[in-house]
Structure 1
Amino acid sequence: MNQAWKSYPSSIRLLSIAAVIFSTGMACIWPLVTIYIHEYLGKPLTTAGLLLMLNQGAFLIGSLAGGMLFDRWGKMKTIVLSSLGIIVISLFLGFTANFTAYTVLLLLSGLFYGMLSPVMNALAVVLWPEGGRKVMNMIYVALNAGVAAGSALGGVLASVSFAWTFFGNAIAQVCVFAMFIFILPRHLQAAASGQPDGSVELRAADSQASAALEVPRDAATSVQKVVWGALVLLCAGLLISWIVYVQWTTVLSAYMQSLGISLRQYSLLWTLNGGLILFGQPLIAWIIRRLARTLRAQLLLGTYVFALSMLILSQTTAYAGFVAAMFVMTIGEMLVWPAVPTVAAEFTPQGREGFIQGLVSGTGSAGRMLGPLLGAFIFQTFQAQGLLYIMAGLSLLSVAFFVLQGSMQKRGKRRGIQATIEK
């Protein structure tokens, strides 16, 4: 384990520690938001659901804005603005019990969290461009480790006072802010000095693709159109995957209760999810070596696994079936979520790392917004069986989008290479 940790550059190890602390603080709050609104502020659950949807909308806007600011305004300036915004809002949330003020602060919190979230992946791309799926998987695992720790810590803090969940988050974000301010700049400077002078049109994963970047202006424009088309297809597949995944946190939780499965048993499924993400990396490494040696294969396999989990649920109402389906869904999650930003990074134009990772992060937020509404409508119209079959079908639609994305990306590389030969 220690040897594997040392195989990462020091800048990535630092970023991973920051990601753990960042998500630990965030997880002190978010699992308890619905309970806080319903029980502490005395509002109905429908109000809590509406606020969470609006929060995800603010997160989406923040992701896009943060990504553009990261590229155009400056990396450290974007980090400082978003980090300070989170810290200040968390402190205010701890001191207010007014519902109107809480609503405004929750939306602002989503905005600033959205600005900072894509920074983690964008920094990983900038600090270690050769890291590929290895670095993205590290950030993914680090964020989930923080979620596991923060969820447990949030429960302890809430038992003292709900205000301390917000204060705990503020303290964690102060630590992240200090790491970014006092340690990160020298790593960014080192990464910048290690890059060749001059601009390139695109970043690619291999030397042939890199050679394809030096192309005539007309050919470069054609290649760029294909690449941006591939990005749209990638985000479409990710959006649908999130719509499928989020059913576990919304409609399926209510469905399980209607079957007589307790909330405690439902919570244990997420314990399984977190434990598998943290301790199941050797299993995922084995699956990738045997079944998904390329990023494209990893992405497709993970999406097929999403469909399989829904089909398992369609054939059972027993708790053991839900355990099996959650195990399968988590395997799919561990394959898909790190693969998407890695694929996006492969054809990211230099200087646009923030925007592309912000777009990927915002797409996930859009899926978390649309998923509950679409799932509830399908459930009411077609019942549980209909929902599960439709979600399995949507997973296969994601597969189609990812296949088209891969084909379009290859076409862009071929055009670039051909243009270079003709040049």
Structure 2
Amino acid sequence: MRGWLQQATGGLPRQFWFLWTGTLINRLGAFVVIYLAIYLTQALHFSQSRAGLVLGAYGVGGAIGTMTGGVLADRWGRRPTLLTAQFGAAALMLALGFADGLGQLAAGAFLLGVFAEAIRPAFQAMMIDVVPERDRIRAYSLNYWAVNLGFACSAVLAGFAAQFDYLLLFVVDAGSTLAFALISLVFLTETRPARPAPAAPAAPGRPARGGPGLHTVFRDRVFVGFLLLNFFVVLVVMQHMSTLPIAMSADGLSPATFGWVIAVNGLMIVAGQLFVPKLIDGHDRTRVLALATLILGVGFGLNAFAGTVAVYALSVVIWTLGEMLQSPSNSALIAELSPAALRGRYQGVNSLSWSAGSALAPIVGGFVQQHLGSTVLWLGCAAVGVVVAAGQLASGPARERRAAALRELGPAAPGAAGRPPSAGETRHEEDTTPPAPAVEGVKVPARD
């Protein structure tokens, strides 16, 4: 057992463990997103559609936040972006707890989405910066384990807190976000690789053209195609945060019962996620992703026949197995597809697929559930899983060719992150790494 633990956790950088610790603390208090749909429909008596609009506003804000956070992580730095987003999210989480009426709640959810989701690309880019490629599957599994240990505990604790006072959900969530912000402030250092130096101006008086920018990501057909598949996965997975609690409430099950059922997801991941790297080692990554997506679809599709706690729990067990297989492989592949000089932007666009899915999932799911019924909703989730699995198989070879080509280019040289410029030195003098060359269909336009 000791040897396995050393194999699973040994040799990872110190800064990774600070990120890991902050993730665990933050997730232990992540109450609001889990119970926001129940809060809106039961405490505030919103309809399913109105609740979907508030949840969707968070997703729209998140879409803006991820893009902004990705660009700032590359241009401003990982650490200042992370700190600004964390402190802002803590304040807005508390403000949302005191919001009243559809307009205030939607506006508060939107702003919270901007700041909370801006954390993600800076965090992910920092983790890619500090963890060598050979260790990333392990690192992502460990981080995912921390996320779900916190999730399992918070789902249960939030259920009891909601029975006492819904405001506690917002207070505790704000406090845990603030704790992560303080860890980032005290222990984390800047990790951004050196940026390309701007090219000389074409003519006197004309601005210089920079290196590759945000448009580079959107012109990367292989990467964008992969994110499109992930977007449809998110549409399915995020139903457990929006339409699933509503469906369980309609079957007469309490918020506390929903908390225990959804905690099965976190408990399974805590118990088994660290074994996943060994399980999938040596297997074709494309087939692993396709199988995982198929299992996710089957798990959510089973909800069409649910009505009791046992069947809902079985559904969670099935789609959690798919999630456990999908998450570390998916995250490591996205890291491999991200050129070093554009990691923040690539992670921002990756987070956009989650934010866009988070925005549309409650709106689409709430509409289907209200007008067509839960059975159509859950069988539709199963169909999406089948289609996405086929898409993974079809597009996998092109992704692996792209990842191999980027590996041949090698990582960017580390910059002077974490120290101020010396006398007479400017930031541009530090940024001496040449622009990353184009790779298989990736064009290099001016810096955005």
TM-score greater than 0.5 by the shorter chain? yes
Q: Which category describes the TM-score, using the shorter chain as reference length?
A: 0.7 to 0.9
Query: Which segment is superposed worse, 372-381 or 113-122?
Result: 372-381
In structure 2, the residue matched to 1:213 is none
Q: Residue 33 of structure 2 corresponds to which residue in structure 1? A: 30
SS in 2 for 1:141: helix
- Residues 86 and 388 from structure 1, CA distance in 2 versus in 1: closer, same or farther, beyond 3 angstroms? closer
> Which among 188, 193, 207 is matched to residue 184 of structure 1?
188
Structure 1 counterpart SS, 2:220:
helix
- What SS does the corresponding residue of 1:243 show, helix, strand or coil? helix
Correspondent of 1:237 among 229, 232, 241: 229
Which residue does the alignment assign to 2:286? Answer: 296
| Letter in structure 2 aligned against 1:245 | V
Distance in 2 (CA, whole Å) between partners of 1:14 and 1:6 is 15
- Supply the AA of the counterpart residue of 2:267: G
The counterpart of 1:172, out of the listed 169, 173, 176, is: 176
| Whole-angstrom CA distance in 2 between matches of 1:109 and 1:409 | 34
Equivalent residue of 1:268, what SS?
helix
| Structure 2 partner of 1:354 | 344
The RMSD of aligned alpha carbons is 3.7
Q: What amino acid does structure 1 have at the position aligned with 2:88?
A: G
Q: Distance in 2 between matches of 1:133 and 1:366?
A: 25
Output one character per residue of 1:103-149: Cα deviation in whole Å (capped at 9) or x when no partner: 43332111100101232222111111323222122222222222233
On the 8 A contact 2:74/2:341 being kept in 1, the answer is yes
| Contact preservation (8 Å) 2:287, 2:393 | no
1:142 aligned partner: 146
Structure 2 vs 1, CA of residues 69 and 102 (structure 1 numbering), >3 Å: closer, same or farther?
same
Q: 2:107 maps to what in 1? A: 104
Give the Cα–Cα distance (whole angstroms) in 2 for the partners of residues 331 and 169 of structure 1: 27
1:6-405 to 2 correspondence within 5 Å?
6-25=10-29, 27-38=30-41, 43-44=46-47, 46-93=49-96, 100-130=103-133, 131-155=135-159, 161-185=165-189, 188=190, 228-256=220-248, 265-281=257-273, 284-285=276-277, 287-289=279-281, 293-310=283-300, 312-313=302-303, 320-378=310-368, 384-405=374-395
* 1:48 alignment partner AA: A
Deviation at 1:69, TM superposition (A): 0.9
Q: Aligned with 1:293: secondary structure?
A: coil
Q: For residues 83-116 of structure 1, what are the alpha-carbon distances to aligned partners after superposition, in whole Å with 9 as ceiling and x for unaligned?
A: 2212332344456657654443332111100101
Q: Retained in 1: the 8 A contact 2:217–2:223?
A: no
AA at the equivalent of 2:327: W
* Higher alpha-carbon deviation: 139-148 or 242-251: 242-251
Residues 47, 313 of structure 1: CA spacing in aligned structure 2 closer, same or farther, 3 A cutoff? closer
Decide whether the 8 Å contact of 1:236 with 1:401 is kept in 2. no
Task: Structure 2: give runs of 5+ residues left out of the alignment.
Answer: 197-211, 409-436, 439-448
Distance 2:301 2:166 in 1: 39
Amino acid at match of 1:117: R
Equivalent position SS for 1:348 = coil
AA aligned to 1:135 is A
* Kept in 2: contact 1:227–1:408 (CA 8 A): no
What is the rounded CA distance, in whole Å, between the counterparts of 2:99 and 2:373 in structure 1? 41
Equivalent-residue separation in structure 1 for 2:247 and 2:163 (angstroms): 29
CA distance in 2, matches of 1:414, 1:92: 46
Q: Check the 8 A contact 1:87/1:170 in 2, yes or no.
A: yes
Paired amino acid for 1:31: I
* SS of structure 1 residue aligned to 2:63: helix
Matched length: 388
Provide the identity percentage. Answer: 23
In the aligned structure 1, how far is the partner of 2:50 from the partner of 2:115?
A: 22
Distance, in Å, in 1 between the alignment partners of 2:69 and 2:176 is 20
Identify the range of structure 1 (32-41 vs 15-24) with the bigger mean alpha-carbon deviation: 32-41
Instruction: Provide the TM-score with structure 2 as the length reference.
Output: 0.74
Give 2:12's aligned amino acid. Y
Deviation at 1:268, TM superposition (A): 3.1
Deviation track 1:27-68 (CA, whole Å, cap 9, x = no partner) reads: 132234345445655655543331111111111111111111
Secondary structure of the corresponding residue to residue 340 of structure 2: coil
Q: Deviations over 1:3-41 (max 9, x none)?
A: 34344222211110011122233x132234345445655
Determine which structure has the larger helix proportion and give its number.
1
State the alpha-carbon separation in 1 of the partners of residues 275 and 106 from structure 2.
Answer: 42
Contact 1:60-1:366 at 8 Å conserved across structures? yes
Q: Which moved more, 1:152-161 or 1:113-122?
A: 152-161
